[in-house]
C-alpha cells in the first residue's frame, strides 16, 4: 500500500482560503453546525407528481398494475397484437438518471408478450429483475432483453399467465422490509431499535444503536443507507456489513465493547415506497441537504447523531454512506482532508484489496464540493467518511462477501487504535 503525502497545490490554497468557509452557529462543538459549501444546492421543497395507482386493462386479456409499495408505472398501452408499452416517468425534474420501474403484468390465457419500457425523459439503466412473488428475484435472461434507440427504450420478451409477474429495476426493498430487517437485527442483545422520527409523509425513520456495556465517552461509527430509492445494491451491502458486525466472534465482540455503532438503514422511506428515481417526498435529493437540513429526513438524522454524541460525550470518528452507481467504487476524501483517524482510508481500502483476490478497490477521492453526507461528517466532527458505492448489477453474492470483508477490516483497524 502506498501512502500519499500531503501536498498543497496553488489551487488547493485558493480553494481552502477563499472558496470554502463554514459558519459556526455555536462555539460549542457538540451543537449542530450549518455550512457553506463551494458548490451549494438549493434544497427547498419542490412539487412532485404522483402516479395513478391502478390496474391497466387491455381488451380484458392483458393487465398491468402498480398497486404496491415501490411500484413505478406511469402508463400501460397496447402497441400491436403482441407488444405493449410501459411508460416510466420521474417524480420531478431535473433529476439524476436512475429510471426506476416496478409493476406487475398478467394475462387471462398463458401467452408470450413483448414489452417496451419507454422513458420519455431518460434512458434505460437497470437490467430488469423478475419475480413470481415480489420476494425472490432474478435478472431477466439476456436473450429476452434488448436495448433500442440508443437505450431510449428497452424490449423485454415475457411469458405471462394468470399469475401476476413482477418486473422491476431492482429487487423490491420497501419500508416494511427495512422495518422487518431492523426488528430481526434488534433480537441481538447488543442492538437497540428506535424510531427516531417521521419522514415528510409520516413514515418511520429507523435507527439501530449497537454497543455492549456503557457507551459513555465512546467513539461512534455511523452507517447510512438508501438516501436514493433505487440504490438497492448499496442497501444489500449495508445489511451484510451490519450483520457481520453482529457476529459472535472475538473481533466483533471486542469491537462492540469498544465502539458505538449507529445505523440508519432507510433515510428516504417515502421515496422508496413511492417508487421514486432519486428524491424524497419533498422533491429533493436528500444527499444535497447536509448543510441547511431543510428536509425532515436529514434534519432528524443529523439531530439524532449530534444529540447522541453530545449526551454520551462521544465523538463520531467514521461515517459510511451506502449507495449504488454503475460500478463498485469508494468516494473518499482528497489528500488535503485529514480526519481524526487519518489515514484510516488508505489502510482500510488496502486491507480490502489484500483480502479479496482479483478485486481492486476503486478509490475516487474528491474535495468538499456539494453538501453531501461525506462532507458533513468531516465538517461536523472532523470524522473520516466514505461513500460506499456498489454497482447496480454487481453479483449479489459478491456484494455480501465484500461487505463482510469490509466490516471485518474496519473492525480490525479501529480495535487497534
Ligand atoms: Zn446514491
228 Cα to the center of ligand 1, angstroms: 5
314 Cα to the center of ligand 1, angstroms: 28
Cis before residue 94, ω within 30 degrees of 0?
yes
134 Cα to the center of ligand 1, angstroms: 23
Joined together, the cell numbers standing for residue 218 give 465512546
290 Cα to the center of ligand 1, angstroms: 14
395 Cα to the center of ligand 1, angstroms: 18
130 Cα to the center of ligand 1, angstroms: 23
324 Cα to the center of ligand 1, angstroms: 6
pLDDT tens digits for range 60-80: 999 999 999 999 999 999 999
pLDDT tens digits for range 384-397: 999 999 999 999 99
292 Cα to the center of ligand 1, angstroms: 19
The conformational region for residue 283 under phi > 0 = left, psi -120 to 50 = alpha, else beta, is left
Task: Report the candidate in 227, 223, 328, 271 with the shortest Cα–Cα distance to residue 71.
Answer: 271
Return the bridge partners of 34, or none.
23
77 Cα to the center of ligand 1, angstroms: 32
pLDDT tens digits for range 187-219: 999 999 999 999 999 999 999 999 999 999 999
* Beta-strand relationship, 129-131 and 83-87: unpaired
Can you give the pLDDT at residue 23? 41
Residue 407 CA, chain-centre distance (Å), reads 17
* Beta-strand relationship, 138-139 and 129-131: antiparallel
Can you give the pLDDT at residue 2? 36
One digit per residue, the tens of pLDDT, for the chain of length 417 reads 333 333 333 334 334 433 444 444 433 457 999 989 999 999 999 999 999 999 999 999 999 999 999 999 999 999 999 999 999 999 999 999 999 999 999 999 999 999 999 999 999 999 999 999 999 999 999 999 999 888 889 999 999 999 999 999 999 999 999 999 999 999 999 999 999 999 999 999 999 999 999 999 999 999 999 999 999 999 999 999 999 999 999 999 999 999 999 999 999 999 999 999 999 999 999 999 999 999 999 999 999 999 999 999 999 999 999 999 999 999 999 999 999 999 999 999 999 999 999 999 999 999 999 999 999 999 999 999 999 999 999 999 999 999 999 999 999 999 999
Cis before residue 343, ω within 30 degrees of 0?
yes
53 Cα to the center of ligand 1, angstroms: 26
327 Cα to the center of ligand 1, angstroms: 12
pTM for the whole structure: 0.93
237 Cα to the center of ligand 1, angstroms: 13
375 Cα to the center of ligand 1, angstroms: 14
63 Cα to the center of ligand 1, angstroms: 33
90 phi/psi in degrees, rounded to 5: -80, 170
232 Cα to the center of ligand 1, angstroms: 10
97 Cα to the center of ligand 1, angstroms: 11
Amino acid at each position: 500500500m502506498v501512502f500519499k503525502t500531503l501536498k498543497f497545490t496553488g489551487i488547493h490554497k485558493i480553494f481552502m482560503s477563499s472558496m470554502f468557509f463554514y459558519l459556526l452557529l455555536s462555539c460549542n462543538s457538540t451543537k449542530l453546525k450549518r455550512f457553506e459549501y463551494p458548490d451549494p444546492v438549493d434544497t427547498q421543497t419542490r412539487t412532485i407528481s404522483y402516479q395513478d395507482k391502478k390496474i391497466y386493462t387491455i381488451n380484458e386479456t392483458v393487465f398491468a398494475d402498480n398497486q404496491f409499495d415501490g411500484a413505478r408505472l406511469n402508463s400501460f398501452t397496447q402497441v400491436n397484437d403482441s407488444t405493449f408499452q410501459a411508460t416510466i416517468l420521474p417524480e420531478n425534474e431535473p433529476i439524476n438518471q436512475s429510471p426506476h420501474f416496478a409493476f406487475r403484468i398478467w394475462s387471462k390465457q398463458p401467452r408470450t408478450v413483448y414489452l417496451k419500457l419507454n422513458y420519455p425523459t431518460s434512458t434505460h439503466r437497470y437490467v430488469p429483475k423478475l419475480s413470481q412473488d415480489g420476494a425472490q428475484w432474478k435478472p431477466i435472461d439476456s436473450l429476452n432483453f434488448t436495448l433500442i434507440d440508443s437505450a431510449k427504450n428497452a424490449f423485454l420478451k415475457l411469458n405471462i399467465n394468470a399469475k401476476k409477474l413482477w418486473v422491476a429495476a431492482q429487487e423490491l426493498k420497501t419500508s416494511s422490509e427495512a422495518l422487518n430487517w431492523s426488528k430481526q437485527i434488534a433480537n441481538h442483545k447488543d442492538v437497540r431499535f428506535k424510531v427516531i422520527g417521521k419522514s415528510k409523509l409520516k413514515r418511520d425513520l429507523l435507527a439501530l444503536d449497537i454497543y455492549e456495556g456503557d457507551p459513555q465517552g465512546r467513539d461512534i461509527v455511523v452507517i447510512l443507507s438508501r438516501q436514493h430509492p433505487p440504490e438497492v445494491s448499496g442497501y444489500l451491502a449495508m445489511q451484510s456489513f451490519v450483520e457481520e458486525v453482529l457476529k459472535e466472534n472475538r473481533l466483533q465482540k471486542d469491537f462492540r465493547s469498544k465502539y458505538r455503532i449507529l445505523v440508519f438503514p432507510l433515510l428516504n422511506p417515502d421515496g422508496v415506497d413511492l417508487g421514486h428515481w432519486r428524491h424524497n417526498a419533498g422533491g429533493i435529493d436528500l444527499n444535497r441537504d447536509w448543510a441547511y437540513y431543510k428536509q425532515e429526513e436529514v434534519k432528524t438524522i443529523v439531530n439524532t447523531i449530534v444529540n447522541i454524541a453530545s449526551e454520551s460525550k462521544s465523538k463520531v470518528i467514521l461515517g459510511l454512506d451506502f449507495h449504488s452507481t454503475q460500478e463498485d467504487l469508494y468516494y473518499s476524501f482528497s489528500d488535503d482532508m485529514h480526519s481524526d483517524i487519518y489515514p484510516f482510508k488508505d489502510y482500510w481500502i488496502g486491507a480490502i484489496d489484500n483480502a479479496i483476490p482479483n478485486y481492486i478497490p476503486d478509490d475516487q477521492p474528491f474535495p468538499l464540493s456539494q453538501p453531501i453526507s461525506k462532507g458533513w461528517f468531516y465538517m461536523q466532527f472532523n470524522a473520516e467518511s466514505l461513500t460506499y458505492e456498489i454497482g447496480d448489477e454487481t453479483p449479489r453474492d459478491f456484494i455480501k462477501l465484500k461487505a463482510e470483508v469490509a466490516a471485518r477490516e474496519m473492525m480490525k483497524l479501529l480495535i487497534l487504535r
